[in-house]
């Protein structure tokens, strides 16, 4: 009871505090409206010289209903509830609307009474403009007092603010400069802008000069900049790399603003600076998505995402939720990851859409129950084991999760009449040399064959892409830990390359592919140019302010079992067909007969718990002939044991 009493006292105190502010607001607004009304009359009648005695006596009578009318409209739009010192563009729009409506009512009264009960039209118009001007000025003055006086009083006023240069004189840079001017407690003062656009050179942004291109920093040593902030959230990674190299050469500390995705969603503000990450250097030009096509397949549909707590699955959930599905089913085996994505989606305002379901996709009865209860119409299958070295040592788990569970889920999708089924695959499935890639390729083959057998009732497709920046278990977090520990940074081979793209870009293109798919295709995303991992390691070391080979060593440890020097884009048996999107390619091939692939799947399901790792690899190779497994020498020619009679469920037509 004491806790409830405290909460009630807090609510009552807050309500009383708001009520205590209202008389002051009403007083300020009333004085501003009275002065506006008086001044409008004076301007109309040359400060009283043109007023007759009758007009002078009539002047104040309409004020008895016009002032309360305006106050009533201001009350309706909530101008009395807000703090006077917090005034922004939305408040300005609401203020304009309220005063315009009040003046319109006054104009109607003038028309209906032929001017007998309302002031002249010119006075009504002048009064509207002056009222808007004076109230806006009063609110703006209160805001300036708060920002410049009270805010500064609590800041580190005696500490000299750091002189900051901002690269990027666009919207992000201008917003940043304004926030730094307001938030003096940050201890940063923008003194110069730099921009690639020559048309901006020599101009000013918020009174701060645009001195030229960022290269000016190497020539002008008189600026005495303490720090440079890169305010180019949508810039290509290539340009960011050039600017970072330039700043490192000039020996100037630098930071950057949040990414364009973070700014667009409102999750962070432009003044929340952070160090430049390797993701910024590898970023690519923003991808144009045909959002209406994506919305057409998701809006009002029940959408299922497996592996919803993973790197790809969680981003799928974020983007899908923005397209207003009827229901978003989150399938995740890890309750910790499920809790994180559930809370994030609730925080983003999607709590009414989601249904978090802790489940293992290999658990057939559980998945049957989910399909039976929710009747999903679109399925994105992102649940998988993806760690290459770990799955190389434990092929049984890779086969169970990446092959058998996918086969069961695909068959359930067909049985329950799902409209679209999208498998999240990998470029490692192309001419695979490791278990993870081979299991993904087997899953692709099975689903293509299933689609051909099902007669197109369910559009089944797969989407391949390379490494995603910042995903769990990827090379970038590993390098961060090695650098933080003082090195060495371990790279498998000096010539090894990989494709990289951002998680948001990959998922956006997955959704675009899903909207274009007719079934039976494998979509491959344009992943740009491959990146040498040793170059990636050097850049990450330099971003930490260290020198490769001096402060942090790079050690080559050799390729691990199943690893390639480089990844490929397509198998030789696949035919490339262009799509309407420049970043998406479509590959089609003739799948094997469903009976053959299904029988092999049944055999594999029976043997996974009875065979050694290398024998499972050889069994997997029978379903994926192009697979080149890494085997121990003594097992290369050893025959497979006789199959076990143990029955195991597997999806068949």
pLDDT by residue (tens digit) across 175-189? Answer: 888 888 777 777 888
Instruction: Please check whether residue 628 is in contact with residue 441, taking contact to mean a CB–CB distance below 8 angstroms.
Output: no
Residue 365, classified by CB atoms within 10 Å of its CB into exposed (0-12), middle (13-18) or buried (19+), is exposed
> What integer is the mean pLDDT of 551-562?
85
Q: Which sequence positions are flagged as catalytic? A: 428
Task: Quote the pLDDT of residue 340.
Answer: 94
> What integer is the mean pLDDT of 468-480?
75
Given a cut of 50, is residue 15 above it in pLDDT?
no
**Sequence spans of domains, the chain:** 15-153, 162-276, 291-633
> What integer is the mean pLDDT of 374-394?
92
User: With bands split at pLDDT 50, 70 and 90, how would you rate the model's confidence at 449?
Assistant: very high
What is the per-residue DSSP string for 438-453? HHHHHHHHHHHHHHHH
> What integer is the mean pLDDT of 302-326?
94
Given a cut of 70, is residue 4 above it in pLDDT?
no
Fold of the CATH domain 162-276: Rossmann fold (3.40.50)
> What integer is the mean pLDDT of 213-230?
83
pLDDT tens figures, 606-630: 888 888 888 889 999 988 888 988 8
Task: Quote the pLDDT of residue 354.
Answer: 93
Task: Quote the pLDDT of residue 94.
Answer: 76
Of residues 375 and 219, which shows the higher confidence score? 375
Instruction: Please check whether residue 308 is in contact with residue 331, taking contact to mean a CB–CB distance below 8 angstroms.
Output: yes
Residue 291 has which token pair?
């959002």
Residue 652's CB is within 10 A of a number of other CB atoms, namely 14
User: With bands split at pLDDT 50, 70 and 90, how would you rate the model's confidence at 11?
Assistant: very low
Which residues, other chains included, contact 78 with Cβ-Cβ below 8 Å and sequence gap of 6+?
A: 94
Given a cut of 60, is residue 226 above it in pLDDT?
yes
pTM of the model: 0.67
Task: Quote the pLDDT of residue 238.
Answer: 79
Given a cut of 50, is residue 373 above it in pLDDT?
yes
Task: Quote the pLDDT of residue 8.
Answer: 35
> Any idea which residue has 């490339």 for tokens?
576
Given a cut of 60, is residue 432 above it in pLDDT?
yes
Task: Quote the pLDDT of residue 645.
Answer: 47
Task: Quote the pLDDT of residue 3.
Answer: 47
Going by C-alpha positions, the residue among 266, 183, 182, 190 that lies closest to residue 229 is: 190
Instruction: Please check whether residue 203 is in contact with residue 181, taking contact to mean a CB–CB distance below 8 angstroms.
Output: no
Mean pLDDT of the chain: 80
User: With bands split at pLDDT 50, 70 and 90, how would you rate the model's confidence at 286?
Assistant: low
Task: Quote the pLDDT of residue 181.
Answer: 79
Which residues, other chains included, contact 579 with Cβ-Cβ below 8 Å and sequence gap of 6+?
A: 513, 516, 523, 585, 586
pLDDT tens figures, 125-157: 888 888 888 777 777 777 666 655 555 544 444
Instruction: Please check whether residue 533 is in contact with residue 497, taking contact to mean a CB–CB distance below 8 angstroms.
Output: yes
Of residues 456 and 173, which shows the higher confidence score? 173
Which residues, other chains included, contact 477 with Cβ-Cβ below 8 Å and sequence gap of 6+?
A: 470
Task: Quote the pLDDT of residue 174.
Answer: 86
Of residues 210 and 265, which shows the higher confidence score? 210
> What integer is the mean pLDDT of 50-61?
68
Task: Quote the pLDDT of residue 266.
Answer: 53
Task: Quote the pLDDT of residue 562.
Answer: 73
CATH number for the domain running over 291-633 = 3.40.50.720
Task: Quote the pLDDT of residue 574.
Answer: 60
Task: Quote the pLDDT of residue 12.
Answer: 46
Residue 632, classified by CB atoms within 10 Å of its CB into exposed (0-12), middle (13-18) or buried (19+), is exposed
Do the two domains 162-276 and 291-633 of this chain adopt the same fold?
A: yes
Residue 37, classified by CB atoms within 10 Å of its CB into exposed (0-12), middle (13-18) or buried (19+), is buried
């Amino acid at each position: 009871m004491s806790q409830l009493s405290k909460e009630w006292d807090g609510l009552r105190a807050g309500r009383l505090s708001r009520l205590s502010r209202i008389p002051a607001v009403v007083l300020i607004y009333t004085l501003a409206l009275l002065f506006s009304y008086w001044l409008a009359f004076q301007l109309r009648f040359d400060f009283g010289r043109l007023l007759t005695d009758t007009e002078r006596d009539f002047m104040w009578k309409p004020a008895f209903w016009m002032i309360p009318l305006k106050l009533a409209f201001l009350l309706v739009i909530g101008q009395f509830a807000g703090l006077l010192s917090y005034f922004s563009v939305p408040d300005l729009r609401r203020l304009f609307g309220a005063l315009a409506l009040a003046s319109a009512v006054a104009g109607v009264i003038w028309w209906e009474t032929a001017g007998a009960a309302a002031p002249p039209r010119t006075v009504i118009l002048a009064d509207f403009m002056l009222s808007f001007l004076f109230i806006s000025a009063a609110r703006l003055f209160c805001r300036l007092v708060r920002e410049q006086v009270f805010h500064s009083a609590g800041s580190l006023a005696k500490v000299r603010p750091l002189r900051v240069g901002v690269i990027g004189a666009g919207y992000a840079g201008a917003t940043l400069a304004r926030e730094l001017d307001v938030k003096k407690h940050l201890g940063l003062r923008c003194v110069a802008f730099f921009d690639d656009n020559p048309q901006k050179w020599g101009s000013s942004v918020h009174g701060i000069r645009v001195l030229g291109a960022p290269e000016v920093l190497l020539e002008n040593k008189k600026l005495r900049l303490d720090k440079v902030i890169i305010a180019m959230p949508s810039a290509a990674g290539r340009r960011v790399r050039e600017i970072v190299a330039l700043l490192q050469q000039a020996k100037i500390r630098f930071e950057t603003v949040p990414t364009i995705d973070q700014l667009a969603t409102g999750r962070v503000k432009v003044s929340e600076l952070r160090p430049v990450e390797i993701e910024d250097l590898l970023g690519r030009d923003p991808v144009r998505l045909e959002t209406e096509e994506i919305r057409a397949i998701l809006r009002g549909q029940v959408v299922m995402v497996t592996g919803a707590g993973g790197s790809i699955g969680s981003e799928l959930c974020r983007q899908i939720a923005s397209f207003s599905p009827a229901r978003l089913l989150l399938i995740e085996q890890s309750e910790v990851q499920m809790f994180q994505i559930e809370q994030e989606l609730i925080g983003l305002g999607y709590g009414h859409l989601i249904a978090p379901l802790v489940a293992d996709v290999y658990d057939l009865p559980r998945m049957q129950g989910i399909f039976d209860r929710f009747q999903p119409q679109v399925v994105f299958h992102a649940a998988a084991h993806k760690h290459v070295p770990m799955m190389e040592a434990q092929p049984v788990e890779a086969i169970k999760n990446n092959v058998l569970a996918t086969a069961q889920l695909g068959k359930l999708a067909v049985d329950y009449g799902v409209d679209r089924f999208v498998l999240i695959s990998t470029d490692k499935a192309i001419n695979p040399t490791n278990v993870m890639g081979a299991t993904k390729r087997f899953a692709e083959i099975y689903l293509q064959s299933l689609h051909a057998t099902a007669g197109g009732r369910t559009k089944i497709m797969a989407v391949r892409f390379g490494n995603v920046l910042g995903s769990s278990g990827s090379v970038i977090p590993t390098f961060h830990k090695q650098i933080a520990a003082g090195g060495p940074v371990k790279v498998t081979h000096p010539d090894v390359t990989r494709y990289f793209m951002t998680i948001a870009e990959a998922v956006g293109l997955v959704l675009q592919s899903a909207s274009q798919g007719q079934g039976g295709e494998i979509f491959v995303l344009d992943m740009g140019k491959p990146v040498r991992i040793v170059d990636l390691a050097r850049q990450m070391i330099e971003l930490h302010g260290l020198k490769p080979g001096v402060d942090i060593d790079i050690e080559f440890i050799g390729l691990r079992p199943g690893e390639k020097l480089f990844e490929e884009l397509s198998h030789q048996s696949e035919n490339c067909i262009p799509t309407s999107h420049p970043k998406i390619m479509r590959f089609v091939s003739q799948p094997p007969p469903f009976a053959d692939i299904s029988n092999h799947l049944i055999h594999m399901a029976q043997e996974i718990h009875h065979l050694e790792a290398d024998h499972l690899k050889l069994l997997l190779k029978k379903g994926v002939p192009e697979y080149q497994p890494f085997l121990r020498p003594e097992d290369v020619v050893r025959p497979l044991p006789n199959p076990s009679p143990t029955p195991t469920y597997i999806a068949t037509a």
